[in-house]
Chain A
Amino acid sequence: MNTWQEDLLNLLLIPATTAEAVFDRIKQAALQLGFDHVAYGFQATYPVTQPNITLLNSYPTAWQQRYAQAGYLLTDPTVAHGRQNQTPILWNDHAFASNRALWVDAQDHGITTGWAQSSLERSGAGSLLTLCRRAEPLTASELQAKEAPMRWLVQVAHVSLSRAILAQENPACTALTKREREVLQWSADGKSAQDIADTLNLSKSVIDFHLKNSINKLQAPNKTAAVARAALMGWLG
């Protein structure tokens, strides 16, 4: 039987089926570390004007509803911290100084202890993993003993969940052929179809064909949007 550490290792190595399946395994690992609830939020880089945000959590239903109803995502100080800083944040009066109401509300719903850390990518995408429980507070000695695996859990969650979410939301990622990616890469460098044709020793009509297919697969309105989307998703690297 795998330990939770081995299970997380496999999450990194074996592409998961769905984000929900990955999240279940993150929850199991969190439970092994002494946390009842897990919340994961991922912000993509696309669409540019309003990037997609995906939220997964195992909070009690009442707290999920209250959090959504109050619009706490926009005012949650731990989320704001995570957007700017990858240093872990421990839930306490100081952390929620700018939104005492949320902190009181969370405690009223039985969420009394929490720890969160973000993982921010160079592309601008990022995620925040929060580990919570109802019972006893997280002591300094417990944190010292568990922080290394908790931090690793954050990274594993980010890598495996963001990969699963992006694969679900963007099936075009795997559908792009090597040649289509190559043509998009040259387009991203500002090359015209004729330039690319000359470079790759192909006809312009072949390059146009690959560009048209790429645009369709990426569900983009034009070449510029297709290149931007592919670049923001990290598919051109």
Chain B
Amino acid sequence: MARILRTMNISNMGQVQASVRELLALRLKHLHSAVDPEPSGTPPQQRCGTTTTLSGYTEWVGDSHLPISLGWDWRIEAHTHTAQWQRDELPRTNIQLVNEQGHPLPWEDNLRVLATWVDAQDWQHAVANAVSAAAH
């Protein structure tokens, strides 16, 4: 893994360029998460009995020799029996994926691929622990 991570480099734009293989070898470390403030202006008695949506943001760093950061918004979706933590919208990052020829992906494509990678991470527990700890 170390050999792969060392092939990443920083572009002229200051982004960390990585191949998809390097991405799959990368491990994320939780940095910070928080819950969005509740919308103000609605008296508590009027919110009683209505559906609650909890949302927030989270920031992570990579365990590589280059400074990698990745963040995304999240929300909790209530289903019949469970609550699912879902990523909301595309992530924010300084990672720029390159294809096998070393060419950077278009930025929107880059974020869409990174979104699938974020969805493949077990991030929900760390975020839940962080926001729970912050509430106490």
Contact A151 B120 (CB under 8 A): yes
Contact of B81 (CB < 8 Å), options: A84, A119, A159: A84
Contact for A152 among B24, B109, B112, CB less than 8 A: B24
A156 to B119, CA, bound (A): 10
> Taking CB as reference atom, which chain A residue is nearest B109?
A13
A151 and B81 alpha carbons, distance in the complex (Å): 24
Within 8 Å CB of A156, what residues of B?
116
Among listed A1-9, A35-43, A59-67, A187-195, interface-contacting one:
A1-9
Q: How large is the interface on A (under 10, 10 to 19, 20 to 34, 35 or more residues)?
A: 20 to 34
Q: A2-B100, A9-B20, A9-B99 are in contact. Are A155 and B120 (CB under 8 A)?
A: yes
Contact between B100 and A154 (Cβ–Cβ < 8 Å)?
no
Contact of A154 among B25, B77, B84, B120 (CB under 8 A): B120
- Interface code B16-54, partner A: CB below 8 Å = 1, 0 otherwise? 000111001100000000000000000000000000000
Query: B12 at the A/B interface (Cβ < 8 Å)?
Result: no
A155/B77 contact (C-beta < 8 A), A9-B99, A12-B113 known: no
A120 to B79, CA, bound (A): 11
* A3 partner, pick from B21, B97, B105, B122, beta carbons under 8 A: B21
In contact, B109 and A5 (Cβ under 8 angstroms)? no
Check A155 against B119 for contact (C-beta < 8 Å): yes
**Closest residue of chain A to B121, judged by CB?**
A151
State whether A9 and B113 are in contact (beta carbons under 8 Å apart), knowing that A149-B24, A152-B120 are contacts in the complex. yes
Contact with B116, one of A84, A87, A152 (Cβ below 8 angstroms): A152
In contact, B113 and A148 (Cβ under 8 angstroms): no
Question: Considering only CB atoms, which chain B residue lies closest to A14 in the complex?
Answer: B109
The answer, among B25, B113, B119, for a CB contact under 8 Å with A119, is B119
State the Cβ distance, B6 to closest chain A Cβ, in Å.
18
A sample of 7 more A-B contacts (CB under 8 A), given A9-B20, A12-B112, A155-B120, is A6-B21, A8-B20, A13-B112, A84-B79, A84-B82, A87-B122, A122-B86
Give the 10 A-B CB pairs with smallest separation, nearest first.
A151-B120, A155-B116, A152-B120, A5-B20, A155-B120, A9-B20, A155-B119, A6-B100, A5-B21, A84-B82
14 pairs, CB–CB < 8 Å, chain A vs chain B:
A5-B21, A6-B21, A9-B20, A12-B109, A13-B113, A84-B82, A85-B82, A86-B84, A122-B86, A151-B120, A151-B121, A151-B122, A152-B116, A155-B119
Report which A residues bind B (CB closer than 8 A).
2-3, 5-6, 8-9, 12-13, 84-87, 119-120, 122, 148-149, 151-152, 154-156, 159
